[in-house]
Amino acid sequence: MSAIRSTSSAPTLPFSRALAPARAVESGWHRTVRRFRRNPLSVLGMGIIAMFVLTALLAPFIAHPVERNPYMMPHSGYAPDPQPPRPGHPFGTTEEQFDLFYGIVWGARTAFIVALSVIASAVAIALVLGSVSGFYGGRVDEIVMRIVDIVLAFPGLILAVVIVAVLGPSVRNLIIAIAAVEWPTYTRLLRGEFLRVRDMEYVQAARALGASDLLIIVRHVIPNTIYSVLILASLNMGSIVITFAALSFLGLGVPPGYSDWGQLISLSRNWITGTAGDPFTFWYTLIIPGTAIFLFVLGWNLLGDAFRDVFDPRLQGSR
């Protein structure tokens, strides 16, 4: 679970602020890109994510669907023991002979769909609640923040487990469950950003000119708050996939045979100790999905850190 919240109480001295340049968005894209490219880790992150995006987009061509539901992995037979990589199954097969290659390729799709759906839902809720709360303040703000407090006071994994246990394990319900845990963090963040932007001069000017609140929110506020959301979201992409895997481990994952890295890696727990003579007999059940998850989370973490380094004004300093 991402435990990151934006802290609005870090101490800053007035003079260092004055020396900081204006917000990144107002200083031009080329400066951003240049800063981005300077950091080898960010380039690495970008590269990794690009590779996964390509895999996800081209999945039907890389691994041809066999079942009616293309997300179901094909299986050749039903034998219980995983089989190592061999011709026809470049990554080997996991228990019940589900093809790991297919699972990894289509699992990239699943990872993106799940993570993006969760984030999209959380951001959508946060936009509505955060804008209302931050922009209008007062009573509404109090109520919304108390609701956020309550949901945040709930242990995250328990909430997700309860939701899935109640609704039943399916991809859709898992997305709902994880979104239900993530939305308060985004709401807090966006509310803070809305509060900050509300008091800016050009927004007040727009209001004075009589522009409708909705127009102000859409045209002025949202573009200015997008960066913090971007940072949070990119770090969240990875942790959502990990949470998905954790839920699979607890038996509340996707249906058996569904192409999902989380399920593939949680299947490995039965084989990780290998056979009596050779603990590495079933190495591929762990290494293959593990590498996929590892690279995915690593990529998004590096990207998120890079975004933060580039976009966070507090780190720009007076240099």
Partner 1 sequence: MKQRVLAGLLLVLLVTLGPGTGARGAVEPVKNPDTFVTLRFGDPESLDPAYAYDTASQEVIWPAVYETLIAYSGSMTSRYVPELASQVPSLANGLISKDGLTYTFPIRSGVKFHDGSTMTPEDVRYSMLRFMLQDRDGGPSWLLLTPLLGKDSTRDSKGKFQVTYQDAAKAVTVDGNNVVFHLNHPYGAFLSIMAAWSLVMPKAWAAAHGDWDGSAGTWQKYNNPKLQDRYAFDHMNGTGPFKLQQWDRQAKQVILVRNDAYWRSPAKLARVVIRTVPEFATRRLQLQRGDADFIEVNRTEQSQVQGMAGVEIRDDLPTLVLQALHFNFKIDATGNPDVGSGKLDGNGIPPDFFSDLHVRKGFAYAFDYATFIRDGYRGKAVQPNGPIIQGLLGYDPTLPKYTFDRAKATTEFKEAWGGKLWDTGFKFTLTYNTGNTVRQVGAQIMKDSIEALNPKFKVDIRNLQWSSFLQATNQHKGTLYALGWAVDYPDPDDFAQPFLASTGDYPKRNSFKDPNADRLVQEGAVTADPAKRAAIYRQLTKIAYDQVPSLYVAQPSAFVVMRSWVRGWYYNAVLSPGSLDYYALYKQ
Partner 2 sequence: MTTFIARRLALLPFVAVGVTVLIFSLLQFLTPAMRASLYIHDPKQLNALPDIIRKYDLDRPVYIQYWGWLRQVLHGDLGWSETAREPVADAIRGYFPATLELGMYSFACILALGIWLGTAAAVNKDRALDHLSRFTSISGASLPTFVWALLLLMVFYGHFGWFPPGRLSLDADLYVRGGQFHAYTGLMTIDALLNGQWWIFWDAVRHLVLPVATLTYYLTAVLVRITRSSMLETLRTDYVRTAEAKGLSHHVVIDKHARRNAMIPVITLGSLLFVGLLSGVVITETVFNLPGIGRWGVGASQQLDIPAVTGFALVFAGLLVLANLCADVLYAVVDPRIRLR
81 binds, among partner 1, partner 2, none (CB under 5 to 8 A by kind): partner 1
| Residues between 41 and 80 that touch partner 1 (CB under 8 A) | 68, 75, 77-80
95 binds partner 1 (CB under 8 A): yes
Residue 137 vs 274, nearer CB to partner 1 = 274
φ, ψ dihedrals at 52, nearest 5°: -70, -40
Q: At what angle do helices 222-249 and 156-167 cross, to 10 degrees?
A: 70
Q: Among partner 1, partner 2, none, what binds residue 155 when CB lies within 5 to 8 Å by partner kind? A: partner 2
157 vs 48, 149, 163, CA distance in Å? 28, 16, 10
- DSSP state letter for 98: B
Q: CB-wise, 59 or 302, nearer to partner 2?
A: 302
124: which 2 tokens? 């959508």
- Kindly report the CA angle at 86 between 83 and 91, in degrees rounded to 5? 70
- Among 154, 177, 183, 305, CA closest to 250: 177
**How far is the C-alpha of 238 from the C-alpha of 242, rounded, in Å?**
7
For the bound state, the minimum distance from the C-beta of residue 273 to partner 1, rounded and expressed in Å, comes to: 5
Q: Would you count residue 213 as binding partner 1 (CB under 8 A)?
A: no
Please state, in angstroms and rounded to a whole number, the distance separating the CA atoms of residues 112 and 243.
Answer: 14
Question: Using CB distances below 5 to 8 A depending on partner kind, what does residue 177 bind out of partner 2, partner 1, none?
Answer: none
Nearer to partner 2, 11 or 88 (CB): 11
Contact between 268 and 286 under an 8 Å Cβ cutoff? The reply is yes
Which parts of this chain interact with partner 2 (CB under 8 A)?
1, 3-5, 7, 9-13, 15-16, 38-41, 146-147, 149-158, 161-163, 165-167, 238-239, 242, 245-246, 249-252, 262, 265-266, 268-269, 272-273, 279, 286, 290, 293-294, 297-298, 301-302, 305, 308, 312, 314-315, 317-319
Q: Compose the 160-189 pattern: x for residues touching partner 1 by CB under 8 A, - for all others.
A: -----x--xx--------------------
Of 80 and 88, nearer to partner 1 (C-beta) is 80
Among residues 32 and 39, whose Cβ is nearest to partner 2? 39
| Phi, then psi, of 2 in degrees rounded to 5 | -75, 130
Q: Which residues of 32-50 are buried (b: 16+ CB within 10 A; e: fewer)?
A: eeebbeeeeebeebbebbe
Binding site for partner 1 (CB under 8 A): 68, 75, 77-81, 95-96, 165, 168-169, 251-252, 255-257, 269-277
